[in-house]
Amino acid sequence: MCRGFGIVCEAHKKVLEPCRGATKEFIKMKVENPFNELYLKHFDIVEGRTIYLSRHGESEYNLEDRIGGDSNLTARGQQYAKALGLYMNSSGIADLKVWTSNLVRTQQTAAYVSAPKEAYAEIDEINAGQFDGYTYEEVEAMYPQEFEARAQDKLCYRYPKGESYIDCCKRILPILEKMERSTEHLLIVAHQAILRCIVTYLLQGDLRKLPTTKIPQHCLIRVTWLNGENIIDYIRTPIDHSEQGIVKSVLEDSAVLPPKGASSEKIGDSQTKS
């Protein structure tokens, strides 16, 4: 069966480019990097500037593997919130500001950090539109074409009545600019999809790898500006969590789809579960 660009067509084993019958939506288009406009601004960043990034702690929706929503943290999520507060409060960071999304789970996660907080809808999680509140399994069972379309092009796939990763990149541009111009130390508590966008921007990463970039839960990411580039490191906590969302993207560099029925976890970049 013809699948689209870069994918082996079962009927024409050697065809590695769009073949007749390839479903149009599955053809990966060359995408302009939405961050280019910011890269061109060449911000004057102070040596040693540090930005801390964190996903919210485990939420009730994470436990059920549900997309979106506005659920509370679980007990383990609360534990992470306390650990985050303890770490940030004892780090002696002067002039720390905390930015959260408008959603309950990020605000609960930041609750124990003693610093001024601001909430921004721009860093709310990707809008899953019609599928908000569904599990990935439900989407796969009830809307297999949508599920497959996302697996084929997770970067550009837009949820019905919702957003794509590219939409998210564009949505956060004002926040990224504010972040670059900020003279305060920042802790940004947000969501997996949004942090994938922020990390990719900060590291000038490959846009195609953005939707599968690993952003572990219950782990603080520190990004430090040194010698003209951002250096990333992770401060991990031992607090357990149930990762949310199985990523079933087709491997970017591969021309082969996983065998039918085989789990497509581990394909994509390094990410298996979100």
Instruction: Give the residue with the Cβ less far from ligand G3H, 35 or 131.
Output: 131
The answer to whether 55 is a known catalytic residue is yes
Catalytic residue (choose from 191, 208, 218, 241):
191
| Minimum distance from residue 247 beta carbon to ligand G3H (Å) | 5
Catalytic residue (choose from 125, 180, 185, 241):
125
Considering all CA atoms of the chain, what is the largest pairwise distance in Å, rounded to the nearest integer? 63
Query: Binding marks (x or -) toward ligand G3H, 193..222, rule CB under 6 A?
Result: x-----------------x-----------
Site for ligand G3H (CB under 6 A): which residue of 85, 129, 133, 245?
A: 245
Residues of this chain, 128-157, that bind ligand G3H according to CB under 6 A: 128
274 binds ligand G3H (CB under 6 A): yes
247 binds ligand G3H (CB under 6 A): yes
Instruction: Give the residue with the Cβ less far from ligand G3H, 50 or 192.
Output: 192
| Minimum distance from residue 114 beta carbon to ligand G3H (Å) | 28
191 binds ligand G3H (CB under 6 A): yes
| Minimum distance from residue 9 beta carbon to ligand G3H (Å) | 27
What are the backbone dihedrals phi and psi of residue 54, each rounded to the nearest 5 degrees, phi first?
A: -145, 140
Listed in sequence order, the residues at least 6 apart from 137 whose beta carbon sits closer than 8 Å to its beta carbon are 65
192 binds ligand G3H (CB under 6 A): yes
Q: In the complex, which residue's CB is closest to ligand G3H? A: 192
Q: Tell me which residues are annotated as active site.
A: 55-56, 62, 105, 125, 191
